[in-house]
Amino acid sequence: MQPHRFLGWRRILGLVASLWLGAVGCAASPSPSVLVVGGSMMNGDHFAEATLPVMREHFKGCRTVVLVLHASHPADRDRTEARLQRAFAHLSGISAESLHRLDDAESLRRLRAADGIFVGGGETFVLLRELYRTGQLEVIRERVHAGVPYAGSSAGANVAGQRIGTTNDFPVTDIPTRDALALFPAVINPHHPLPAAAEYATRVGKIQGYLRFNPSETVFALGDASIARLHEGRVTFAVGFGRVYRASGITELTVGQRVEGLR
């Protein structure tokens, strides 16, 4: 075969492959697509009503989503998986399966084959330890940078950030480092109280204290069932209550706002 004909066939096959992947998988994204949720996003066995539109858009076209439930206690994972399976089926008919019954090698294979990734809440330190121990942290990072959509709630949102700095969790286990997936350009603080809540002032003070010691960092705070989404290189505050803390001050967010200056 002539070299130029061979190159032509390669181009054709590449185009066919890309069209096929677009048809059977999630909508392609030229950059990481990351959704972080402040936690408490469930209403029974479904995702909370306010979260449904952005969740449907985020996982548009997905057929299978891998559930990463390391943050929950082992005794609770079967029940959590079943609940999330019903929630994803209700969302868009998506099939969801947890990694917790699989060995490490099979878990990595499933992550490499999945259309989307959802990381649930619980103990952030346990979650990050397991992501490092199993090698899943690097695989998840690679897959998301390749265009696979990631969503994380509470602990799952914490590990999407640059590091786990404002987690609200006790350090129930040792971790090799606080550095996390670094998919979302900030440190996440989930479950942020609303201004009317009794614990509001305490949380604000804790985050400001953190920034006194880490003035170069940015803390992205999210209330329960609140969502920010990184997509096509832009961070948009999508649902609920949110604010951005910097050493220089606090920025209140409004739904639909594009959040500038994150790094």
Residue 30 confidence (pLDDT): 59
Return the CATH number of 31-259, one of 3.40.50.720, 1.20.1250.20, 3.40.50.300, 3.40.50.880.
3.40.50.880
Give residue 23's pLDDT: 40
As given in the structure block, the two tokens for residue 194 are 């609303």
Q: Comparing C-alpha atoms, which of 222, 201, 207 is closest to residue 151? A: 222
- Opening angle at CA 229, ends 136 and 255, nearest 5: 155
- Residues 194-203 pLDDT 10s: 999 999 999 9
- In order of 133, 165, 183, the CA distances from 250 in angstroms are 36, 17, 22
Cα(137)–Cα(158) distance, rounded to whole angstroms?
Answer: 13
Q: Could you give the CA distance from residue 70 to residue 67 in angstroms, rounded to a whole number?
A: 9
Q: Cα–Cα distances in Å, from 108 out to 66, 111, 119, 254?
A: 11, 5, 15, 38
pLDDT of residue 27: 56
Residue extents of the structural domains in the chain: 1-26, 31-259
Q: Does 212 or 17 have the greater pLDDT score? A: 212
- 15, amino acid identity: L
DSSP three-state, residue 53: helix
Of 19-23, 109-113, 216-220, the one with minimum mean pLDDT is: 19-23
The predicted model scores a pTM of: 0.89
User: To 5 degrees, how large is the angle CA 219–CA 31–CA 25?
Assistant: 120
For the stretch 207-219, what's the b/e string if a residue is b when 16 or more beta carbons lie within 10 angstroms of its beta carbon? Answer: beebbeeeeebbb
Tokens of 6: 């061979």
Task: State how far the Cα of 6 lies from the Cα of 16, in Å rounded to an integer.
Answer: 15
At 29 the pLDDT is 56
List, by residue number, the catalytic residues: 154, 169, 191
Confidence of residue 31 (pLDDT cuts 50, 70, 90): confident
Residue 7 C-alpha from the chain's centroid: 39
Q: What is the pLDDT of residues 130-158, one digit of tens each?
A: 999 999 999 999 999 999 999 999 999 99
pLDDT in tens, 94-133: 999 999 999 999 999 999 999 999 999 999 999 999 999 9
Average pLDDT, the chain: 91
Furthest-apart CA atoms within the chain: distance in Å: 75
